[in-house]
Structure 1
């Protein structure tokens, strides 16, 4: 075994020894079971410290090229290449679940992903989604807008924006929300990748493990998941046809001293209920008295189908208690993923910190597209168009549901938004019902996922009318009603006689 030491080399001597022995094993000069010289013997031969040879041998052992055998010494394992040797070794699989943090484990529910995955499948009628219709956007308008953007911004399209959003877009948003009675400077506005990101940022800013958070019951599943991921204790406050019950809310404020309240005053997801003006004012009074911050989520406020829109909590709040979230995902395009938050500058500064370690910035192209859409005067006519087509779809779904007079079915009629909240007879076998629907190509959202802890009293489903075509609404509702009949029985009906309630949320 020939080894030459170059004492002028910058490579440590132990590595010189290790590499030369390794090479001789790889080329077959040192065969399997060859016994290497004893450490003391080799150190004397090479004129180096014994510890240097020990270290070289340890490196060879770590690479699986040699091993120590009692009575023999250090023995070559095989005249194979290093790579082949390692391929022959057993490598146990990584059990990622053992490394998963408690926070990640709490966020294991994939309801939203499951809903969006439906759109990659063929021949599925989805009443489960929360997205706009495929024909909601004028394709020619968007094509011309994008050509204008390319011509106007050129290389700027490929450049970053500030973390809190393009100054041009924030200025456009400022003007846009002023039309809805919200006055804020650009430093109090931040662009996010959809309002879901704002909810997560708010949770990260406010919640400590074990904190109590109040929500309407039921409420948006994405908010429940975000709050649970930070180990919040979520308390649901019942609703009626005017929104959140203030009497029950006040009792919970006294009992739990919560960190904040999450609310959707306009065309609530999933129920479609809107909070009355009196309730909005009463809610703010309670917030001021009990020092309760409010997170107002308002993605559907512009999608009203009758009457005049009510003022947002943010527009009524003169004391900076309300953090306001909204999104262009529900009105312009889901795929652009542009939302915004209006809050005090100290909250915005926290959100900026979180965003720069999350996705750095919202897509430049998406921001510029929304900016041109707003500044080009397209938003008003576009919203008028959406209100017309969605109202027609809502009315069509309601008419189809009301055909046949199914006993015990209770419908909450929304004045805007995307959803119809449907209570089914108590004697329906819900697990079989939902599976039977899916087998027939219709997907709905079970009501229990909208309740903290799935503590639901009654058989509810949420139906989306904005996405499916009129043809699919008719076909899907027909299948839905047939399944209601199929998965209920006369015996169960008699045993669990259903009595309709005026208010399905108490």
Structure 2
């Protein structure tokens, strides 16, 4: 083993030794199990201090090229081989659950995923979803819009847009909002990948672990998940026929000093209730007095089946307390994933930073599609069509439910939206009902998932009427009522815990 020392070099001598031995090992000149000269011997041969050789050998050991063996000295190791290691040693499975953060580990809720997975199943009647009817689309119109988009904008629909949305769609949303009494500049509007993303962004912006958020009880499951993912403490406020109860709300405002009030004032999910105009005005007064912002989630506003639209909280708010989120998922298409948020510029700028690290931008083609659909007046005719269709389906479902007189069952009839909220007799065990329905191929949403911490004292289910075909509504509700009667007539009495068991078809 020949080593040459250049005493004029700026490279330290120990590194010169280390690099030369390393080169000989890598070239195979020093084979595995070759014993290097003892530190004192090599130091004497090179006329250097023994400590310099020790330092060189330590560098080689740190890189796994040599090791010290009792009775042998410093020995060259075999070259590292991943394939060789894997062939000879047991590799345990990686335990991802032990690597997850505590925040993620607290929530394993997958109800929304379970609902959406239903659309790949056959021979199932789903009353659990929250999507439009498959036959609500004019496919020839959609195809012509898609063709015109490519002809008009060409490569632009395949290119990136600004993080907060393409300017064409933002101007279209601005005009659309003005028709609904909301005046906002384009800098106060941000396009999101569905309104759910905006809810999550606000939770990320405002919530520290332990912060209180006041919500209607029950409330939208996606909002529960978003707030709880940031360790918020959710306090449910009961509702009456006019919406959220302000007497209880004010008590909680004083007691908890919450960070935020979350509300769905129009065709509430899951109950279908609508907050009265007077209640909306009084809610704003409380927010102003106690200096608490409001998140208004309003995706169902255009789906009214009787009467006139009530003004949104945002349109009544002159003090920039209301952050407004909505979506075209319920009125045009769920799969386009185009929503939007209206807020002060400072909030929008924060959201832009969040979106940059989340998904960079909302799908370009989807944005231009929604722009064309709304700006060219197609949305108005489409809304008239689906209002008539969904009103008919709602009325059919209510008529079917009324065919059976079950003591303790109450139907909450919505004035719009997608859902009927159904209260069931207290002597029904929900897990048994859900299982029985699953055996018959019927899927419903159990009510407890809409309550923070599943804290529910009565039996409820949510029924969607927008998606199923009319014949499925007739057949499915008949089977549902049959199962309710069977569970009501069982020997099970009040006092058993209500347990959520997701349907096996989900």
1:462 maps to 462
Determine if contact 2:429/2:492 at 8 Å carries over to the other structure.
no
Q: Are 2:471 and 1:471 equivalent residues in the alignment?
A: yes
Determine if contact 1:30/1:79 at 8 Å carries over to the other structure.
no
2:503 maps to none
The alignment's TM-score, normalised by the length of structure 1, stands at: 0.89
Q: Using the alignment, how far apart are the partners of 2:294 and 2:286 within structure 1?
A: 11
2:282 maps to 282
1:259 maps to 259
3-state SS of the aligned residue for 2:168? helix
2:504 maps to none
Query: Size of the alignment, in residue pairs?
Result: 487
Q: Using the alignment, how far apart are the partners of 1:54 and 1:210 within structure 2?
A: 51
3-state SS of the aligned residue for 2:366? helix
3-state SS of the aligned residue for 2:210? coil
Structure 1 38/444 Cα, relative in aligned 2: closer, same or farther at 3 Å?
farther
Q: Are 2:391 and 1:387 equivalent residues in the alignment?
A: no
Across the aligned residues of Structure 1 and Structure 2, the Cα RMSD in angstroms comes to: 2.6
2:501 maps to none
Q: Are 2:58 and 1:54 equivalent residues in the alignment?
A: yes
How much has 1:115 moved relative to structure 2?
1.4
Of residues 309-318 and 106-115 in structure 1, the stretch that sits farther from structure 2 once superposed is 106-115
Q: Are 2:31 and 1:30 equivalent residues in the alignment?
A: yes
Q: Using the alignment, how far apart are the partners of 1:19 and 1:134 within structure 2?
A: 68
2:429 maps to 429
2:165 maps to 165
3-state SS of the aligned residue for 2:303? coil
Of residues 310-319 and 89-98 in structure 1, the stretch that sits farther from structure 2 once superposed is 89-98
1:310 maps to 310
Of residues 74-83 and 109-118 in structure 1, the stretch that sits farther from structure 2 once superposed is 74-83
3-state SS of the aligned residue for 1:335? helix
Structure 1 234/5 Cα, relative in aligned 2: closer, same or farther at 3 Å?
farther
| Pairing 1:183-262 to 2, within 5 Å after superposition | 183-262=183-262
Determine if contact 1:314/1:324 at 8 Å carries over to the other structure.
yes
Of residues 83-92 and 296-305 in structure 1, the stretch that sits farther from structure 2 once superposed is 83-92
How much has 1:39 moved relative to structure 2?
5.0
| Pairing 1:9-158 to 2, within 5 Å after superposition | 13=16, 14-24=18-28, 30=31, 35-38=35-38, 41=41, 49-50=52-53, 51-60=55-64, 67-75=67-75, 83-158=83-158
Q: Are 2:422 and 1:419 equivalent residues in the alignment?
A: no
Q: Are 2:341 and 1:337 equivalent residues in the alignment?
A: no
**Deviation sequence 1:54-79 (CA, Å, 0-9, x none):** 32243235xxxx65432233456669
Determine if contact 1:3/1:17 at 8 Å carries over to the other structure.
no
Structure 1 40/83 Cα, relative in aligned 2: closer, same or farther at 3 Å?
farther
Structure 1 212/74 Cα, relative in aligned 2: closer, same or farther at 3 Å?
same
How much has 1:208 moved relative to structure 2?
1.9
**Deviation sequence 1:191-236 (CA, Å, 0-9, x none):** 1110000001111122222211100000001111111111111110
Q: Using the alignment, how far apart are the partners of 2:69 and 2:175 within structure 1?
A: 80
Structure 1 85/212 Cα, relative in aligned 2: closer, same or farther at 3 Å?
closer
Structure 1 81/272 Cα, relative in aligned 2: closer, same or farther at 3 Å?
closer
| Pairing 1:311-326 to 2, within 5 Å after superposition | 311-326=311-326
Determine if contact 1:146/1:369 at 8 Å carries over to the other structure.
yes
How much has 1:484 moved relative to structure 2?
1.6
Structure 1 38/110 Cα, relative in aligned 2: closer, same or farther at 3 Å?
farther
Q: Using the alignment, how far apart are the partners of 1:30 and 1:421 within structure 2?
A: 78
Q: Using the alignment, how far apart are the partners of 1:22 and 1:379 within structure 2?
A: 70
How much has 1:495 moved relative to structure 2?
8.7
Determine if contact 2:132/2:330 at 8 Å carries over to the other structure.
yes
Structure 1 19/337 Cα, relative in aligned 2: closer, same or farther at 3 Å?
farther
How much has 1:23 moved relative to structure 2?
4.7
The alignment's TM-score, normalised by the length of structure 2, stands at: 0.89
Of residues 361-370 and 468-477 in structure 1, the stretch that sits farther from structure 2 once superposed is 468-477
2:502 maps to none
2:291 maps to 291
Structure 1 186/53 Cα, relative in aligned 2: closer, same or farther at 3 Å?
same
Structure 1 81/136 Cα, relative in aligned 2: closer, same or farther at 3 Å?
same
Structure 1 68/83 Cα, relative in aligned 2: closer, same or farther at 3 Å?
farther
Of residues 76-85 and 115-124 in structure 1, the stretch that sits farther from structure 2 once superposed is 76-85
Structure 1 124/47 Cα, relative in aligned 2: closer, same or farther at 3 Å?
farther
Q: Using the alignment, how far apart are the partners of 2:494 and 2:359 within structure 1?
A: 56
Q: Using the alignment, how far apart are the partners of 2:47 and 2:386 within structure 1?
A: 86
Of residues 92-101 and 421-430 in structure 1, the stretch that sits farther from structure 2 once superposed is 92-101
